[in-house]
Amino acid sequence: MPTAPPPSRDVALETRVFWERFKKQITAALLIVLLAVIAFTGYRFYSDRRAAAASALLASAKNAQEYQQVILRYANTPAAADAYLLLAETQRNEKKFAEANTTLQTFIAKYPQHELLSTARMAMAANLESLGKTDEALAMYQQVASAYPNSFTAPMALLSQVHILKAKDRNDDARRICETVLTQYRTSLLARPPAATPPPAPQAPPPPKKP
């Protein structure tokens, strides 16, 4: 028995009916998407302009007060993070070790994922050592070595413990650390000369060239 052919579909009519039925919802959804795109574009433009202005201001900063201006005016920008480190370095050079550590602690709290976090902790340990707080400095060097074993600061954190341990007549502990450095970080030592103090903070970027 022959089967009846399926009824023909009018695609244009179905589309028209669908549009008339859901046009308000579709229009609202498109409007939301458009507003989101506009808002995102505006935010990116604002963020880029703000970051560029912060970098320019940091490039011209030369002292603690000017670094603080970068931090205050352009918080949460990459330039502000660098300004914290440069400010701490300036304070250390002025022998304001406690103030430098306060600055570094603020940096660590604000930028917990920053690539120079281990460097900041090394600088804090060096400041504690300069303040005569050798027990606290030793504990922080140990924390850096254990928390960042694969970073370039790990062998420096270990070596920085040696002279403290020797001053405490803990020669066996100092010798074990030297052996650890030689066995685990021989390649790092050959690539970079060992140092007991942390590397300097990043330098301010050069000012942008005028067109």
User: What does the domain layout of the chain look like in residue ranges?
Assistant: 62-191
Kindly report the average pLDDT of the chain as a whole number: 81
- The alpha carbon of residue 69 and the mean position of all alpha carbons in its chain are separated, in whole angstroms, by 19
Residue count of the chain: 211
**Cα 122 from Cα 97, distance rounded (Å):** 13
pLDDT of the residue at 39: 60
Does 2 or 182 have the greater pLDDT score?
182
Diameter of the chain measured on Cα atoms: 106
Residue 16 scores a pLDDT above 90: no
**Cα 185 from Cα 67, distance rounded (Å):** 36
Continuous segment of H or E residues that includes residue 39: helix 11-60
Please give the model's pTM, rounded to 2 decimal places: 0.69
Q: Using alpha carbons only, what angle is made at residue 17 by residues 15 and 18, rounded to the nearest 5 degrees?
A: 65
Averaging pLDDT over each range in 8-12, 49-53, 148-152, which range is the top one?
A: 148-152
Specify the amino acid at residue 150: N
Give me the architecture of the 62-191 domain, per CATH.
Alpha Horseshoe (1.25)
Residue (of 180, 114, 121) closest to 147 by Cα position: 121
158-191 residue pLDDT tens: 999 999 999 999 999 999 999 998 888 876 654 5
Residue 74 scores a pLDDT above 80: yes
The terminus-to-terminus CA distance of the chain in angstroms comes to 84
Orientation angle between helical segments 153-167 and 117-130, nearest 10 degrees: 20
Does 19 or 175 have the greater pLDDT score?
175
Residue 200 scores a pLDDT above 60: no
How far, CA to CA in Å, does 38 sit from each of 42, 47, 51, 147? 6, 14, 20, 42
75-98 residue pLDDT tens: 889 999 999 999 999 999 999 999
**Cα 75 from Cα 73, distance rounded (Å):** 6
Q: Count CB neighbours of 165 within 10 A.
A: 19
Sign, CA dihedral 118-107-59-99, equals negative
Q: CB under 8 Å to 78, separation ≥6 — which residues? A: 51, 54, 55
